Structure 1
Amino acid sequence: MSISDNLKRGTVELLLLSLLGEQDMYGYQLSQTLAQRSEGLFTLQEGSMYPTLYRLMEKGLISDRKELVGKRRTRVYYHLEPKGETYLGEIRREYFSLNQGVMNVLNSTKKAGEAGG
């Protein structure tokens, strides 16, 4: 798996867990909320969202429940479990630390480039 794939995978997990940390949501609601909050800059196709949700369930980080919508249709809601809350805290800290480190490097290289020009 490439660095880009690992980064995307970790980012998707972070974003889905963050949204579920606010409230239980169903798949379509997760993808729509993500697109709305990112102002359209981050869209998540169902093909990549559901495997991630299933992987999070296998790890015990989230659970699902089915609710009847109308007379025949069911909707699956996902719920952040306590183990998921702990994991979310850890990956948020890692993400912010990594992001700060990247920004420090980018900002220092920009400054160095401006000083030499």
Structure 2
Amino acid sequence: MGVSENLKRGVTELVLLSLLAQRDMYGYEMSQELQARSGGKFILQESSMYPTLYRLEDKGYITVTKQQVGKRRTRMYYHLEPSGQDYLQSSVAEYLAMQEGIRAILTSCGMNEVEPV
């Protein structure tokens, strides 16, 4: 597994909860939103996303509602619960603090002039 995949795995909960803080969404919609909002730099396959969504549901951070779409199809909409909002806020604070620390380390090592991929 490459570096980008490991980094992505570490922030998947954070980005999914961030989307759900704006509105309820279904899986494919979240996948498309992540790709669009990241300018194509954060692509998350649905098959990689669902285990994270199941974990968040098990922890009580999100709930799922089934909604009929058309005659025979249903979609599972994910909703951010208040406990999930609290978890998101603490995760964002932790992420930003860590990002600041990593940036300070990289800058002190002369890596601040490296171009992003």
The TM tier, using the shorter chain, reads 0.7 to 0.9
Letter in 2 for 1:18: S
Give the alignment of 1:49-88 within 5 angstroms.
49-88=49-88
Aligned length: 109
Deviations 1:44-63 (A, max 9, x none): 01111001000100000000
Deviations 1:42-93 (A, max 9, x none): 1001111001000100000000001111111111100000000000000000
1: CA distance, partners of 2:30 / 2:64: 13
Letter in 2 for 1:63: T
Give the greater-gyration-radius structure (CA): 1
2: CA distance, partners of 1:9 / 1:63: 21
Secondary structure, in 3 states, of the residue corresponding to 1:41? Answer: coil
User: CA 1:37 to 1:55, structure 2 compared with 1: closer, same or farther past 3 Å?
Assistant: same
Superposed CA RMSD:
1.8
In the alignment, does 2:19 pair up with 1:8?
no
2: CA distance, partners of 1:39 / 1:6: 19
2: CA distance, partners of 1:40 / 1:5: 15
Q: Which residue of structure 1 lines up, in the alignment, with residue 102 of structure 2?
A: 102
| 4+ long deviations beyond 2 Å | 3-10
In the alignment, does 2:21 pair up with 1:21?
yes
In the alignment, does 2:32 pair up with 1:32?
yes
Higher helix content, 1 or 2: 1
Structure 1 position 109, deviation (Å): 1.5
1: CA distance, partners of 2:45 / 2:8: 13
Q: Which residue of structure 2 lines up, in the alignment, with residue 115 of structure 1?
A: none
In the alignment, does 2:49 pair up with 1:41?
no
Q: Structure 2: which 5+ runs fail to align?
A: 112-117
2: CA distance, partners of 1:107 / 1:63: 41
The TM-score normalised by the length of structure 1 is 0.87
